[in-house]
């Protein structure tokens, strides 16, 4: 493993540089996620001629994220964050090019392959938030993580609104208009990968490991051993810490609820628009429905990322578990609003914004608590497990949401998510109660 002269570098300066580079890369690469969410379903329907395949792109992308999380974590553990993140971003770059090729060749298989590789880039983006806390002091971990999460806002929110300018660029290059947003994704992913390659020096994970080895050597303790990179070993490490187990449950359930409700909201709004207020099928409402869908999803994504620094500040000041409690409380309020207001587009939009805010609070606080609740030698492995389970839960949530929607409707889908959020709130309240009985609650609890 690479070594660094740990005493020769100012830790705070290295941490500030690390957060800046990670945030800048997130801003550039976030365009890919927004473009896929907004255009992927339309492209799938166009290439297959069937609405049944509308959710395939999001599902394959999410599965790609889940499958790639552990290998990228293993690569980071062996070679450092820089190599792990850059590998994921370059895979996403290849994926964006495959999606463009799929529009030219009218090939659905190429679209799915490109979506899977874009999922690998998403896995890298998820791991970037953990890279932000490799060198952070305990009282700064939440904010450092949140800044990197926040940086994706510009690209992610812009993505759903790049359809028209992307079409202009695509046609100017002699490509199908619908491929345009993915041209922006290609450029963003390339610039992000180059920024990580050049700017993420020293590597935060390797530098932290060098400092840890130096401290152990001074103390005369044996060096830590590298843990096996497998899902089973990662879960074992999580089970050893009740707080890590709570953090993982909060992250996974928040993501499952968010993915399930968000993935079905465009279809629900489209049906509301097509049927109009009188309940009769009205295709003239289609254009307005698509505009509402783009606006709603943009606001939802803004809710997920725009207030991340606030959620990070709350995580550090109010505590990890109280902020997780806030996040799932917002998810409960969101599903109640969107569920009981399912017939009113404005209430659905408000619900989606609250859903994004709840996801943000639960994910930032949960990720911070998870990172500090396991042994340092297990940390990267557990982070990979977290991203695998988080993405897997998102894929299952999005995949099952259509069945639940057909069975009990959009309101019923929201009630299922409400029940899940309520269960997590109950567990968090019990954890807070146990901590108060044990003694004063620390801000980093």
CA atoms within 13 Å, Cβ hemisphere of 411:
6
d(CA 13, CA 21): 12
CA distances from 240 to 231, 382, 384, 389, 425 (A): 14, 12, 17, 18, 22
CATH 1.10.1040.10, domain 227-439, yes or no: no
108-131 vs 379-438: helix axis angle to the nearest 10?
A: 50
Closest CA to 418 of 336, 319, 303: 336
CATH number of the domain at 8-206, please? 1.20.1250.20
Output the six-digit token pair for 320: 């990890």
CA distances from 255 to 59, 153, 349 (A): 14, 17, 18
pLDDT at position 12, please? Answer: 85
pLDDT at position 21, please? Answer: 95
pLDDT at position 44, please? Answer: 83
pLDDT at position 17, please? Answer: 93
Residue 343's CB is within 10 A of a number of other CB atoms, namely: 12
Per-residue pLDDT of the chain (445 residues; tens, 9 = 90+): 444 454 445 888 899 999 999 999 988 887 656 666 667 777 887 888 876 676 688 778 888 998 999 999 989 988 999 999 999 999 999 999 999 999 999 999 999 999 999 999 999 998 998 899 999 888 889 999 999 988 877 666 666 666 677 778 888 888 888 788 888 889 889 999 999 999 999 999 999 888 877 766 666 655 555 555 567 788 888 999 999 999 999 999 999 999 999 988 888 887 887 665 444 444 444 456 667 777 888 889 889 988 899 999 999 999 999 999 999 999 999 999 999 999 999 999 999 999 999 999 999 999 999 989 998 888 888 988 999 999 889 888 887 888 888 889 999 999 999 999 999 999 989 887 887 776 654 545 5
Q: Where exactly are the structural domains of the chain?
A: 8-206, 227-439
Cβ atoms of 414 and 331 closer than 8 Å: no
pLDDT at position 113, please? Answer: 96
> Where does 49-80 have alpha helices with state H?
56-79
């Amino acid at each position: 493993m690479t070594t660094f002269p740990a005493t020769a570098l100012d830790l705070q300066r290295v941490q500030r540089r690390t957060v800046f580079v990670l945030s800048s890369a997130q801003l550039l690469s976030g365009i890919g996620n927004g473009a896929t969410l907004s255009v992927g379903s339309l492209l799938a329907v166009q290439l297959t001629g069937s609405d049944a395949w509308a959710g395939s792109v999001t599902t394959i992308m999410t599965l790609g994220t889940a499958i790639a999380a552990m290998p990228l974590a293993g690569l980071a553990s062996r070679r450092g964050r820089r190599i792990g993140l850059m590998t994921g971003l370059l895979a996403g770059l290849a994926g964006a090019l495959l999606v463009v090729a799929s529009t030219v060749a009218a090939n659905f298989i190429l679209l799915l392959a490109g979506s899977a590789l874009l999922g690998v880039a998403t896995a890298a983006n998820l791991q970037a938030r953990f890279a932000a806390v490799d060198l952070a002091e305990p009282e700064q971990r939440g904010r450092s993580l949140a800044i990197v999460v926040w940086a994706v806002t510009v690209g992610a929110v812009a993505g759903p609104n790049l359809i028209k300018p992307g079409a202009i660029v695509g046609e100017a290059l002699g490509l199908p208009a619908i491929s345009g947003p993915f041209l922006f994704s290609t450029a963003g992913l390339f610039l992000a990968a180059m920024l990580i390659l050049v700017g993420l020096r020293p590597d935060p994970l390797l530098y932290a490991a060098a400092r840890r080895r130096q401290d152990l050597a001074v103390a005369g303790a044996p060096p830590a051993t590298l843990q096996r990179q497998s899902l089973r070993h990662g879960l074992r490490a999580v089970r050893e810490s009740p707080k890590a187990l709570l953090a993982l449950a909060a992250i996974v359930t928040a993501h499952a609820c968010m993915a399930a409700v968000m993935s079905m909201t465009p279809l629900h709004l489209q049906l509301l628009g097509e049927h109009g207020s009188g309940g009769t099928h009205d295709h003239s409402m289609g254009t307005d429905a698509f505009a509402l869908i783009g606006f709603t999803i943009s606001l939802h994504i803004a809710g997920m990322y725009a207030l991340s620094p606030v959620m990070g500040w709350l995580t550090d000041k109010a505590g990890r578990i109280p902020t997780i409690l806030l996040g799932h409380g917002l998810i409960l309020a969101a599903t109640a609003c969107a569920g009981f207001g399912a017939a009113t587009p404005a209430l659905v939009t408000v619900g989606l914004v609250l859903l994004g805010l709840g996801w943000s609070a639960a994910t930032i606080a949960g990720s911070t608590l998870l990172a500090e609740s396991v042994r340092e030698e297990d940390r990267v492995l557990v982070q990979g497990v977290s991203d695998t389970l988080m993405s897997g839960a998102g894929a299952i949530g999005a995949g099952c949401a259509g069945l639940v929607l057909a069975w009990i409707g959009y309101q019923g889908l929201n009630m299922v998510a409400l029940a899940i959020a309520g269960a997590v709130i109950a567990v968090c309240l019990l954890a807070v109660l146990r901590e108060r009985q044990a003694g004063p609650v620390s801000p980093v609890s």
